[in-house]
């Protein structure tokens, strides 16, 4: 099973080429998406503030660049063998939950404009009739950026696995009495990052940023900078016995009991 959800701006805006066309360098993406420009809405006009939505945007440029993928590969096998008054069954199953959140929003740069660049400085803190001093859209037309940032891409890869094996027998003891008994083993891991980027507070690890005092951050997994461990231990002995009984009193009544 696969679920692929694309929540993204048009490809033309994500591969705009802002370096060549606008001279905006420093973005994380070599394709140079069109930048995200915010802060243009104000009571004086320019961009509306009363209605939100695609028909009345308050932001120029792509705000979404995400793709969410869920995969769940599953394998199930079973076999049945009937011999005399016994019906033997055995089987196994395994599946892995895979979750990815690929997001490159803001890689072309986020530029925020405000009224500060087009308002008289000494009136910025004054309360004037008619609204705030300055005009964000005028600041934008003049290219006077108030603040800017750029995002790095993210691609968290989460995994979770589960496995199970069972064997059972349905024993027809008499025409009216049937006994079911079996055993099942389950093994289910905790959710983890495929690149072992989960971290937690480690009270016994020396912190070089605090003069070697104990108390630092530990990362699970193996290799340099890892704890050579897993934060969550999976119980390996999840054995579940099963027992069932069915007794037919007459043609219309059957008593059943079960335990696991």
Q: Domain range spanning residue 97?
A: 2-189+234-259
What is the pTM (predicted TM-score) of this model? 0.68
| 36, part of any domain | yes
Per-residue confidence (pLDDT) for residue 201, from 0 to 100: 92
| 218, part of any domain | no
18: its two tokens: 């802002």
92: its two tokens: 């196994």
With 90 as the cut, is the pLDDT of residue 93 above it?
yes
| 219, part of any domain | no
Per-residue confidence (pLDDT) for residue 161, from 0 to 100: 95
Residues 6 or more apart whose CB falls under 8 angstroms from that of 22 comprise 35
Pick left, alpha or beta for residue 47 (phi over 0 → left; psi -120 to 50 → alpha; otherwise beta). beta
Strand partners, 164: 93, 186
| 224, part of any domain | no
Residue 114 confidence class, pLDDT cut points 50, 70, 90: confident
Arithmetic mean of pLDDT, 207-215: 93
| 200, part of any domain | no
| 196, part of any domain | no
Say which residue, 204 or 51, is predicted with more confidence: 204
Give me the numbers of helices (H) and strands (E) for the chain, helices first please. Answer: 3, 14
Query: How many separate domains does the chain show?
Result: 1
Instruction: Decide the pairing of beta strands 65-71 and 2-8.
Output: antiparallel
Arithmetic mean of pLDDT, 25-34: 74
| 202, part of any domain | no
| 141, part of any domain | yes
DSSP category for residue 155: -
Residue 54 confidence class, pLDDT cut points 50, 70, 90: low
Q: Which of 129-133, 166-170, 212-216, 228-232 has the lowest mean pLDDT?
A: 129-133
């Amino acid at each position: 099973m696969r679920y692929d959800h694309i929540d993204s701006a048009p490809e033309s805006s994500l591969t705009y080429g802002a370096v060549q066309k606008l001279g905006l360098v420093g973005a994380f993406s070599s394709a140079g998406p069109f930048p995200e420009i915010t802060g243009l809405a104000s009571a004086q006009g320019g961009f509306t503030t009363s209605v939100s939505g695609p028909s009345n945007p308050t932001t120029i440029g792509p705000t979404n660049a995400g793709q969410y993928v869920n995969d769940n590969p599953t394998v199930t096998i079973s076999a049945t063998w009937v011999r005399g008054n016994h019906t033997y069954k055995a089987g196994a199953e395994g599946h892995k939950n895979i979750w990815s959140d690929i997001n490159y929003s803001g890689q072309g740069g986020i530029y925020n404009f405000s009224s500060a660049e087009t308002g008289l400085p000494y009136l910025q803190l004054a309360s004037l009739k008619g609204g705030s001093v300055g005009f964000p859209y005028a600041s934008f037309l003049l290219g006077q950026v108030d603040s800017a940032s750029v995002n790095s891409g993210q691609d968290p890869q989460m995994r979770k696995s589960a496995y199970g094996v069972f064997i059972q027998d349905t024993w027809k003891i008499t025409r009216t009495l049937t006994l079911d008994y079996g055993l099942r083993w389950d093994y289910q891991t905790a959710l983890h990052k495929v690149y072992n980027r989960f971290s937690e507070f480690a009270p016994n690890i020396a912190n070089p940023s605090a003069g070697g005092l104990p108390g630092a951050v530990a990362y699970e997994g193996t290799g340099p900078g890892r704890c050579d461990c897993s934060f969550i231990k999976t119980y390996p002995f999840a054995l579940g016995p099963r027992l069932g009984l069915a007794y037919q009193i007459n043609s219309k009544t059957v008593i059943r009991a079960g335990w696991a």
